Amino acid sequence: MIRFEQTTVHDPSGGAPLLRAWDVKIARGERVLLRGGRAEARAAAFALLHGEQRPDAGAVHLDGVEISALDRDGVQRLRRVVATWSHAPRLLPHASLLDNVALPLRFLSLPPALQRARALAAVEDAGLGEHAHRRAGLLAPLHQRLTEAARAAASGASVLLADAPWLGLDEAACAAVQDALHAAWLRGVTVLVAAADPAPLLDARPRLLRLLPDGALLDEHPGRGPALVALAAP
């Protein structure tokens, strides 16, 4: 379970906080859309969950562990269970698609043959088998993005942080991205998607968390009325 506990992140340039006293729980295996607000605020929320940033106040927990209290080794272990997927994929352009997918498996205690088999299975499941040995830098934009999704699947991560991975793609490619997000959720992965425009995901009826201009958070969980889960400090 993910827990933001009175979590605040200040804006380095001044003005309203990026995150203001967030107090919200996200259950294991839940599908959540973080929408609206400033891009910097959505990025800050993901950076906290990936161990890249510490809150200015409050805490963030994953399965009862306070992320900001982790040491360097702890952060590395965290990133084995929290995967990222972006509209600007982080790939090694001169390595093959398959090698990019297998990259996080090098940090697991698996024999090389098993690493490769696991990576290849994730590539096939993503529909990328025919491109497995192409250099990542030569892949079409959709295939580059699906490579990152396959890498997350191969790693066995239990949390996926997806930063609008459909951005800039055509309608058919958006559908392929949505299918990949749905497949991750069906595997039991906790899927958090951040986007200014949530349109490609609304048919999937995720739980909606809406960022407000002052950094507060409005929970628009399907089936119940909206609730303000982060209140401005008095």
State the CB neighbour count (10 A cutoff) for residue 175: 14
Q: Which two tokens stand for residue 99?
A: 């090698």
Read off the CATH number of the domain in which 54 is found: 3.40.50.300
Mean pLDDT of 208-226: 78
**Residue 220 confidence class, pLDDT cut points 50, 70, 90:** confident
Residue 233 lies in a domain: no
Mean pLDDT of 94-123: 91
Sheet holding 227-228, edge to edge: 82-86, 159-163, 190-195, 31-35, 207-211, 217-220, 227-228
Residue 33 lies in a domain: yes
What total of structural domains would you count in the chain?
1
Residue 234 lies in a domain: no
pLDDT in tens, 154-185: 999 999 999 999 988 998 998 899 999 999 99
Pairwise CA distance, residues 68 & 60, whole Å: 7
**Residue 50 structural domain:** 2-228
Pairwise CA distance, residues 69 & 75, whole Å: 9
